[in-house]
C-alpha cells in the first residue's frame, strides 16, 4: 500500500500567495522527499529532509517534518504561475538495505496569474 498521502488533492491560489501542502505517512522513515511533476513530464527532486531534522529550507521552499505525527508539510512562498505542477511526497523506510522510494498520490497546485 502507498506510504504517503498528500493533502489537499488540489489547491488553487493567486500568484504571490503562499501554498502549503501536507503529507502523512504510516511507518518509520529514514527520510522524506518532495518532488514536483509538470504536466506530461517526469518527476524532479525538490528537497530531502532526514528523520532527525525538523525543518529545511531551499530558496522559496520550506519543509517541516514531525515524526511523532508522521507528517510533513511543504510551503512554497511567493508563488509564481510557473509553480503550477503536481507535488508528491516520497518516503524511504528506516531499517534494512532497500532504499525504495514510496510515493503518495500528489497535490495538484494551480497558481493563477
Partner 1 sequence: IAGITQAPTSQILAAGRRMTLRCTQDMRHNAMYWYRQDLGLGLRLIHYSNTAGTTGKGEVPDGYSVSRANTDDFPLTLASAVPSQTSVYFCASSAGQGAYTEAFFGQGTRLTVV
**Coil/strand/helix, residue 56:** strand
Instruction: Establish if 48 lies at the interface with partner 1 (CB under 8 A).
Output: yes
100 scored as a contact of partner 1 (CB under 8 A): yes
- Cell of residue 96, nine digits: 534494512
75: enclosing H helix or E strand: strand 71-76
Q: Which is nearer to partner 1, 19 or 23 (CB)?
A: 23
Residue pair 6/90 in contact by the 8 Å Cβ criterion: no
Q: Does 67 bind partner 1 (CB under 8 A)?
A: no
Contact in structure between 110 and 12 (CB atoms under 8 Å): yes
Residue 2 is given by DSSP the state: -
Is 57 a binding residue for partner 1 by CB under 8 A? The answer is: no
Query: Shortest Cβ distance from residue 43 to partner 1 (Å)?
Result: 5
Instruction: Decide if residue 50 touches partner 1 (CB under 8 A).
Output: yes
Size of the site for partner 1 (CB under 8 A): 27
Amino acid at each position: 500500500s502507498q506510504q504517503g498521502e498528500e493533502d489537499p488533492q488540489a489547491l488553487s491560489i493567486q500568484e504571490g500567495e503562499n501554498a502549503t501542502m501536507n503529507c502523512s505517512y504510516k511507518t518509520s522513515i529514514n527520510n522524506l522527499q518532495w518532488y514536483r511533476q509538470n504536466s506530461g513530464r517526469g518527476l524532479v527532486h525538490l528537497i530531502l529532509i532526514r528523520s532527525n531534522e525538523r525543518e529545511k529550507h531551499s530558496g522559496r521552499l520550506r519543509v517541516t517534518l514531525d515524526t511523532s505525527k508522521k507528517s510533513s508539510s511543504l510551503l512554497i512562498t511567493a508563488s509564481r504561475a510557473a509553480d503550477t505542477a503536481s507535488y508528491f511526497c516520497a518516503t524511504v523506510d528506516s531499517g534494512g538495505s532497500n532504499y525504495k522510494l514510496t510515493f503518495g498520490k500528489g497535490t495538484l497546485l494551480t497558481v493563477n496569474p
